[in-house]
Amino acid sequence: MASGTLTVDLDALVQNWRALKALTEAEAGAVVKADAYGLGAGPVARALAKAGARSFFVATTEEAASLRHTLGEGPTIYIFSGHMAGDTDMIADLGLVPLLNSIEQLQRHFEALPQAPFGVQLDTGMNRLGMEPAEWGALRDVVLAQGPKLLMSHLACADEPQSAMNALQLRVFKEMTDGLDVPRSLAATGGTLLGAAYHFDMVRPGVGLYGGAPYTAAQPVAYLDLPVVQVRDVQAGESVGYNMGYVARQPKRVATLAAGYADGLIRALSGKAKLYAGPRDCALLGRVSMDLITVDISHLSEIPRSLTLLGRQQGVDTLATAAGTIGYEILTSLGARYTRRYTGG
């Protein structure tokens, strides 16, 4: 079975990075965790490095190691999950920078690699990762004596500009870090859009680079075309797909396309998503199967070779809304079976 084609527009990616960078005086890093949100950490990071990005952020040490091989020496690679047990050799050998999250991680790092660079992640209210204000207060001077490269924290509600949580976290971050003479970072994509007060020395956008909300001005980066495997005419009263998920009220022409939930078309899209033949929309009929979907093409004058799920007509956030999720989940679910094409960069 021919697979779908995922096209990643690296020029649009670089434009998004440059446009976010233009909003700030701070350094613009780039978050490329989860295989660059499903789009391919190798090509994405190479394109951003070529455009001038010098600081990259990933979730785990394995991701950081693979990124070091992609980028070579030079760019700084930060690890959000910090210095985990078993990762010491990789961190040392590849010059990675863990963002230490806890007393346990501080101890591990200072004992195993006393000279190696590190940053510190502070919890300003999200209660997910990082040292809490009281812990930080107690250990701050010891940590500062080791020369951290970066003090960072993460906003819980940056995609809701009106949320009082933003100002509260900003205040806590300042209380924890003012006057310490160490570079600071608080803003991801949402925080970058909140304005200069949130930028400090480095912003670290992720989803906005890949064309997702809350950066609504972004250029689309991901395009997904799915080939038609078979077309059939169904009569009124006939059903389509598992559990008779769709029952035709009138005669319909139905195209079967080669992608399903195993390719990231999450099952919550059943009966809800639209696909596009050029500008014309075509409804997804019935249930999403593992490897296939069925689509109404009754109104098309010709049988298309493929239909577009992600493109100019429909971006990741529109599709996410149809499925009751967020663009991040749509992107990071994109499967491994697609033929991947990279343009530009």
Ligand X SMILES: *Cc1c(COP(=O)(O)O)cnc(C)c1O
Closest approach, Cβ 51 to ligand X, in A, equals: 17
Residues 144-163 as x/- pattern, contact with ligand X by CB under 6 A: ----------x---------
Closest approach, Cβ 54 to ligand X, in A, equals: 16
Q: Compare residues 56 and 338 and give the one whose CB is closer to ligand X.
A: 56
**Is residue 30 a contact point for ligand X (CB under 6 A)?**
no
Count of residues interacting with ligand X (CB under 6 A): 12
**Partners of 257 in the beta sheet?**
228, 293
Contacts of 295 (CB under 8 A, 6+ apart): 254, 255, 256, 257, 275, 282, 283, 284, 285, 307
If we measure between CA atoms, which residue out of 265, 283, 255 comes closest to residue 337? 265
**Is residue 31 a contact point for ligand X (CB under 6 A)?**
yes
Known catalytic residue at 174: no
Count of CB atoms situated within 10 Å of the CB of 200: 24
What is the distance between the alpha carbons of residues 71 and 77, in angstroms, rounded to a whole number?
10
**Is residue 213 a contact point for ligand X (CB under 6 A)?**
no
Known catalytic residue at 276: no
Q: Are 166 and 134 in contact (CB under 8 A)?
A: no
Closest approach, Cβ 316 to ligand X, in A, equals: 12
Q: Which helix (H) or strand (E) holds 98?
A: strand 97-100
**Is residue 206 a contact point for ligand X (CB under 6 A)?**
yes
Window contacting ligand X (CB under 6 A); options: 89-97, 162-170, 198-206, 329-337:
198-206
Closest approach, Cβ 90 to ligand X, in A, equals: 20
Closest residue to ligand X using C-beta atoms: 206
Active-site residue (options: 21, 33, 252, 274)? 33
CA distances from 46 to 42, 202, 218, 271 (A): 6, 20, 20, 38
**Is residue 82 a contact point for ligand X (CB under 6 A)?**
no
Three-point CA angle 318, 241, 304, nearest 5°: 60
Q: Which helix (H) or strand (E) holds 88?
A: helix 88-94
Q: Which of residues 100-139 bind ligand X (CB under 6 A)?
A: none
**Is residue 68 a contact point for ligand X (CB under 6 A)?**
no
The binder of ligand X chosen from 80, 118, 173, 338 (CB under 6 A): 80
* Chain positions contacting ligand X, by CB under 6 A: 31, 33, 80, 154, 188-190, 204-208
Active site residues: 33, 242
